[in-house]
A and B are shown apart, each in its own frame.
Chain A
């Protein structure tokens, strides 16, 4: 909301500079975004009159002019082609400054002296939309009536000195979307008297009538329209508004149209109540009905666009058609025209929620709708209607028709709140006296009698003690709040198990050389296909109703595509290697939870993604194993995984605890790599942190360091290629029983000598008995059992 200082001064004396006023109001809750004063960047630009225009001897596109700038006559060369003899134009003289730091100096243009420059609207830093009739690529041509002001500063002529304050108004304060509301805040914040220039409106008595100039009003939807006030003016002369009114509108960023439309806008800015003006003759049957729209009902709004409505929208209608979308925009069919003689001013209050929905649906957020949607006071509506009529009379734009139509089915509730100074001080941590509280509240227009506060009609946001506390604090001063610390029982702050695990993972992966990434949870349809995600998983992807773009249409059911995108990006950046991890979530709509209104499944996943020369499956496996070790999961199974289509079927494994898969890792399927145009091998791991937490056993126990010596034996066997090292190891463990302390593969060997499809695996075995020294005979027997078993189960051949 923009407000000029000049307009605010009508409500309160202001004895501080505008920047200071801005600071004070910001600290009182009306945040100043910007103070605009267009003229500050313009120096030494004056009004001039063109006396001569002659051809430039050396250039076809330039002309040489003589300009009268009051005190002297200047020769100026210009390329403009919209100037005529006698035009009044802005002249930047030698030494002038223009917005954007442009400096003008006397110089030669193609050999001819030029002692200044004629300015366009844009060169003066002004908006072409604010100056109708001017052209963008041409000199600004001013009114001939200014001829007696040659040489005067353009800043004064165009009234650019005006200081305009742009406020950010919070949605709870629709009353401050008006100069009156801001004026009241200004007065209280500065400790001045609120001048209340519109006090007359509160006292004005206007008789309520059934009919005005034959016009009748019915409200069919009192749940959506709380009040409808209509006033009528006749013998209207549609013309331009006076300068002062146009200037005030412009300061607030509103364009002048004609006196009647300007009055509706002026009242909206002044009092915060949106208004609408109809030509009474465009109202069929002179009967206005406020009703719900019919399904598929159409109306062409003032901006020339046809809008389609339905039963959720409210319209202002005559006997045949809708003439306005209530609270949003008027219809073309009832627009004020130059021939309009009798005008109906509508000042109504609609249910904000419905206006908001309609405005959103038809895609029209107007000055009017953005006020209504915050909830307006029905009491204020009558003031606004009366003010409009007052202005018509004042501007000599027409005659007042006595009386008003006032349909007021839903009375505004006036809130009463108990004043509880002690509770307020406890909540704020302050020691503000009751007297000071009362003074602040009364200045804001609240009435207090016997500790009961009656809230004025324009402050519908005040409902309970906390609201009153905020009002007190705003004008007592947020900056006066002291600094204290909570006085309460001690609480313990500690990370829970999952949070600790996450922290450990970050550390261990960082030390292992991986960098953490952050990815969006969004995904597009194509990516689900590209990464070969399981069909059933695809079906669980959650669709966003209003995505930013098709690329962000789904919530990912798998983190793989996000990781592949990042790896692919790094490859495109020609980064020689990338070792990355991401701790993030996957989202799955299982059991149609979303359709049932329940939140879907979210799993926390650690995703590892790597391309690097010094990396292979087994390095990845080591990384995954280290993570499990770090979180104290010691019992797990590693099994080959061949059904997951995102991974290479021969180079992928699942890590299981019992039957629960807690991790899947391996090389990415060549087909997926091709889909992503990746030519390197990519290693991926997905580790479910939620499950990791479930199986993590935090309590470690000390085991006594062995007193008796260990016996070490090596065992090398030749087996068929399909036999997995893990299978053999399991068999060894099973046969060796308790005295086997450790078994490790230390060599895997393939050669022509061994034969095609064969490999030799060598294990180092370490035996130890906690209670005695093992002798050779015992070990020999165990070794024999193991060898027998390996021969029997795997056809293993002992390698000598």
Chain B
């Protein structure tokens, strides 16, 4: 019996060494250690042995079983490793082959700039206001201290629908509408489309976009305006941007200013974008004219405010290096895809 056991052990070990894969290994394990395996059958046949031999043989069988179990486990691990290695080898891919994806589209540069501006002012507690593009002359002009005989009505070369209705030449009528309907404190920006009777060329378009801002509250001063605009310029155009105020005139603000920013392309050294001046004329602004406040039933003795406005296209063109404004409205996909 002892020889038989040893024979099984030796044979098993020999076969084990020849096993090539996990299936063969499984089969071999069943054949030897399974319920009907050779060793199990042998163990069952132990009853026929003399009483005193039984413990000896039993111990031997168990020992062999343990040895074989261990060998099988070892072999199993080895084979698994081998199979995995082979699988990994066959599953090798070329990671530089092209990807499979839905190509991303793009958001128009004008929208990108507007959103960026909106986010900066939302962060400062401003709301975004909107109004009609086809607007009453009352809101586009009269309420903004630009009465019927005012030369500014000519200067701006507005598109008229009839004597009372125009295509808004600025987003300021939104400000007038908000002031009329809401009590201070007012903190809004109004992005939107505006219309002026300029023929299309590389720097002009009869349709363009503006963002205007308005704050009305107690104790609002011109230094607050400057501070707000500098904060905006730094966030939008770069932390090193400086701002410069120059006197100007607008019917709806007094005092009025034009604000230049240090050129965000060359940093103020002088380049093509800033026409070698180091400064770029960015926006018009000022303290809300007391007549405008009065027109909107806000007492200028109690409240003051500031307003500012700028063209989106100019910023988009300077920021993205677009030299011809027509590209923005031509909508060639080869242009659009770049943003």
Contact = CB atoms under 8 A, between A and B. Distances in A.
Interface of A: 26-29, 31, 170-173, 351-354, 356-357, 360, 373-374, 426-430, 464-467, 469-470, 473-474, 478-479, 481-496, 499, 503, 506, 509-522, 542-548, 552, 555, 566, 569-570, 573, 575, 577-581, 583, 585, 587, 594-595, 597-600, 602
Question: Which 7 pairs show the lowest CB-CB distances between chains A and B?
Answer: A353-B149, A429-B223, A429-B221, A29-B247, A170-B249, A470-B255, A493-B122
B189 to A, nearest CB: 9
A515 B337 contact: yes
A597 B256 contact: no
Interface string B288-313: 01100000000010001000000000
9 contacts: A28-B247, A427-B222, A466-B287, A478-B245, A513-B105, A569-B330, A583-B111, A599-B136, A600-B132
A470 B334 CA distance: 49
Most buried by A among B125, B187, B231, B337: B125
A516 B336 contact: yes
A760 to B, nearest CB: 31
Nearest to A593: B165
A518 B108 contact: yes
Contacts of A515: 105-106, 108, 333, 336-337
Given A171-B152, A483-B230, A517 B247 contact: no
A570 B151 contact: no
B221 A428 contact: yes
B325 to A, nearest CB: 11
Contacts of B148: 353
Contacts of B107: 506, 510, 516
B47 to A, nearest CB: 50
A599 B135 contact: yes
A502 B185 CA distance: 27
Interface stretch (B35-43, B54-62, B211-219): B211-219
Contacts of A509: 105
B276 to A, nearest CB: 14
Interface of B: 102-108, 110-111, 115, 118, 121-128, 132-136, 148-152, 154-155, 159-162, 164-165, 167, 185, 187, 193, 197, 199-200, 206-207, 215, 217-224, 226-228, 230-231, 244-249, 251, 254-257, 287, 289-290, 300, 304, 328-334, 336-337
B217 A488 contact: yes
Contacts of B256: 470
Query: Which of B106, B115, B199, B222 has the most chain A CB atoms closer than 10 A to its own CB?
Result: B222
B212 to A, nearest CB: 15
Given A429-B224, A506-B111, A569 B332 contact: yes
B334 A517 contact: no
A503 B115 CA distance: 9
Given A31-B246, A546-B197, A587-B134, A511 B102 contact: yes
Contacts of B124: 493
Nearest to B126: A493
B329 A488 contact: no
B175 to A, nearest CB: 16
B151 A374 contact: yes
A356 B149 contact: yes
A171 B207 CA distance: 24
B111 A520 contact: no
B128 A428 contact: no
Contacts of B125: 490-493
Contacts of B132: 599-600, 602
B282 to A, nearest CB: 15
Contacts of B257: 478
Contact of A518 (B126, B161, B331): B331
Nearest to A28: B247
A521 B331 contact: no
A578 B185 contact: no
A495 B217 contact: no
Contacts of B197: 546, 548
Contacts of A602: 132-134
Given A29-B248, A31-B248, A587-B133, A486 B255 contact: no
A118 to B, nearest CB: 35
A464 B290 contact: yes
B52 to A, nearest CB: 60
B126 A491 contact: yes
A427 B287 contact: yes
B221 A510 contact: no
B128 A426 contact: no
B140 to A, nearest CB: 11
Nearest to A464: B290
Contact of B290 (A466, A485, A487): A466
A466 B329 contact: no
Contacts of A354: 149
Contact of A570 (B127, B245, B333): B333
A486 B215 contact: yes
A262 to B, nearest CB: 28
B248 A489 contact: no
Given A478-B246, A494-B122, A547 B159 contact: yes
A566 B331 contact: yes
A499 B102 contact: no
Contacts of A520: 206-207, 329
B330 to A, nearest CB: 7
Contacts of A29: 246-249
B277 to A, nearest CB: 11
Given A496-B128, A506-B107, A426 B287 contact: no
Contacts of A171: 151-152, 155, 249
Nearest to A599: B132
B289 A493 contact: no
Given A374-B151, A600-B134, 16 more contacts: A170-B248, A427-B221, A428-B221, A429-B224, A474-B247, A481-B226, A484-B227, A486-B220, A490-B125, A510-B104, A518-B108, A518-B328, A548-B199, A599-B132, A602-B133, A602-B134
B308 to A, nearest CB: 13
Contacts of A569: 330-332
B141 to A, nearest CB: 13
B105 A473 contact: no
A556 to B, nearest CB: 11
Given A484-B223, A521-B193, A510 B105 contact: yes
A491 B187 contact: yes
A486 B160 contact: no
Contact of B185 (A27, A488, A522, A594): A488
Given A427-B221, A484-B223, A517-B108, A578 B333 contact: yes
Contacts of B226: 481-484
B222 A481 contact: yes
A267 B322 CA distance: 47
A544 B122 contact: no
A488 B337 contact: no
A545 B161 contact: yes
B84 to A, nearest CB: 35
A470 B254 contact: yes
A171 B155 CA distance: 9
A426 B304 CA distance: 9
A486 B227 CA distance: 8
Contacts of A430: 222-223
A491 B214 CA distance: 13
Contacts of B106: 510, 515-516
B230 A519 contact: no
A517 B251 CA distance: 34
A733 to B, nearest CB: 31
A491 B248 CA distance: 30
A581 B331 CA distance: 11
Contacts of B136: 597-599
A63 to B, nearest CB: 44
A461 to B, nearest CB: 9
Nearest to A543: B161
A328 to B, nearest CB: 14
B165 A518 contact: no
Given A488-B185, A544-B161, A575-B332, A481 B102 contact: no
